[in-house]
């Protein structure tokens, strides 16, 4: 009896530590339109001169999906089409922008021919996104044997403290192994700005293998120097609850499926602001934040986008000392940003 009571007490304390048990206010203000229609999956990056780039997926009647690049000034309120990237005969999506210290812009993506070829490709621009050229392939599966669940998905870049470029992604290529992992979170490192990639490391997997699907990983370095990883785990819950892990170096992570983060489900995204606040959003379309390096979380009273749970694939970015923006897919097929002060 005493042991059962102790276990219940410890479980309650763990839930309180990671649940958004209080609320706080972000004052949501203006919105900006990045794409009017036939678009989804918006992601941003700030150029060295302060301007912003956006990548969105664009859909077409007579051709596979492409990626469109738009540009804005430092405020991010007005967006202008700049360029586009296509891979003939292949569907591309899950665009991710990253600006290297020297100014080169990387554009990561998933590129596929259904059931035939799955790749994570990187294109590069040396003129602030006006023109692009193919740079490298992070990972691939060229022999899926007709399967549509043997791919690699959603690459996300992070510069580590030692200068290495990290890419995280969802990885189904171990599903036919022994043991079988339906999906895992994988990482590769580049020491030459994304031209070549090192060996694969597995950061999150179901212990012993199985049907659970950890994926859609994103990480950010916190104020205390540690890295916070957020990811979804699909399988038992169709709405894919979100969990966290922390690492001292962004490379070595604890085993297991992490610690649940209440209030977020499916496709998490995060950012750490210059003052150290960590903001997280997801397809739950709520915003939560932590001011103590992920030890406790609070829910923002009003969401940026009051959609409830929906596959809109939002992401959050810092625009000013006390301003964030949440980019999101909206009804009608557009992509917009809503700004808020905190």
DSSP symbols for 34-73: EE-SSEEEEEEEE-TTS-EEEEEEE--SSS--EEEEEEE-
> Would you state the pLDDT for residue 36?
96
User: Judging by beta carbons within 10 Å of its beta carbon (0-12, 13-18, 19+), is residue 274 exposed, middle or buried?
Assistant: exposed
Q: What is the pTM (predicted TM-score) of this model? A: 0.93
For 70-105, the three-class secondary structure string (H helix, E strand, C coil) is EEECCCCCCCEEEEEECCCCCEEEEEEEEECCCCCE
Cα–Cα distance for residue pair 6/4, rounded to 1 Å: 5
Per CATH, which fold does 42-271 belong to? Neuraminidase (2.120.10)
pLDDT at 2: 32
The reported pLDDT for the residue numbered 93 is 98
Strands 278-281 vs 269-272: parallel, antiparallel or unpaired: antiparallel
Record the tokens describing residue 10, joined without a space.
Answer: 């410890």
Tokens 């997926």 identify what position?
57
Q: Which of 300, 309, 302 is nearest to 282 (CA)?
A: 309
Element housing 9 (H / E): helix 2-18
Region class of 102: left (phi > 0), else alpha (psi between -120 and 50), else beta: alpha
pLDDT of residue 22: 58
Q: pLDDT 10s per residue in the chain (342 long)? A: 333 333 333 333 333 344 444 567 899 999 999 999 999 999 999 999 999 999 999 999 999 999 999 999 999 999 999 999 999 999 999 999 999 999 999 999 999 999 999 999 999 999 999 999 999 999 999 999 999 999 999 999 999 999 999 999 999 999 999 999 999 999 999 999 999 999 999 999 999 999 999 999 999 999 999 999 999 999 989 999 999 999 999 999 999 999 999 999 999 999 999 999 999 999 999 999 999 999 999 999 999 999 999 999 999 999 999 999 999 999 999 999 999 999
């Amino acid at each position: 009896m005493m042991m059962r009571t102790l276990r219940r007490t410890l479980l309650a304390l763990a839930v309180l530590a990671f649940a958004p048990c209080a609320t706080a206010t972000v004052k949501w203000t203006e919105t900006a339109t990045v794409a009017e229609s036939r678009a989804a999956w918006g992601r941003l990056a700030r150029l060295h001169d302060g301007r912003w780039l956006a990548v969105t997926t664009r859909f077409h009647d007579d051709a596979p999906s492409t990626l469109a690049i738009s540009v804005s000034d430092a405020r991010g309120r007005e967006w202008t089409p700049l360029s586009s990237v296509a891979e003939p005969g292949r569907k591309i999506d899950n665009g991710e922008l990253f600006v290297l210290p020297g100014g080169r812009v990387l554009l990561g993506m998933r590129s596929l021919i259904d059931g035939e070829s799955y790749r994570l490709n990187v294109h590069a621009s040396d003129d602030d996104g006006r023109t692009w050229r193919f740079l490298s392939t992070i990972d691939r599966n060229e022999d899926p044997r007709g399967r549509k669940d043997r791919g690699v998905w959603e690459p996300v870049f992070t510069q580590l403290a030692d200068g290495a470029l990290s890419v995280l992604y969802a990885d189904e290529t171990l599903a036919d192994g022994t043991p079988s992992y339906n999906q895992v979170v994988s990482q590769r490192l580049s020491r030459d700005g994304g031209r070549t990639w090192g060996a694969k490391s597995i950061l999150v997997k179901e212990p012993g293998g199985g049907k659970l699907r950890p994926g859609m990983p994103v990480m950010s370095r916190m104020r205390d120097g540690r890295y916070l990883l957020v990811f979804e785990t699909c399988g038992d819950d169709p709405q894919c609850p979100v969990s966290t892990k922390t690492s001292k170096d962004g490379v070595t992570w604890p085993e297991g499926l992490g610690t649940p983060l209440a209030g977020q489900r499916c496709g998490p995204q995060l950012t750490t602001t210059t003052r150290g606040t960590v903001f997280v959003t997801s397809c739950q379309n709520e915003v939560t934040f932590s001011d103590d390096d992920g030890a406790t979380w609070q829910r923002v009273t009003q969401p940026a986008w009051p959609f409830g749970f929906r596959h809109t694939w939002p992401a959050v970015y810092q625009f000013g000392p006390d301003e964030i923006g949440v980019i999101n897919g909206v009804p009608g097929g557009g992509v917009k940003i809503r700004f808020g002060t905190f």
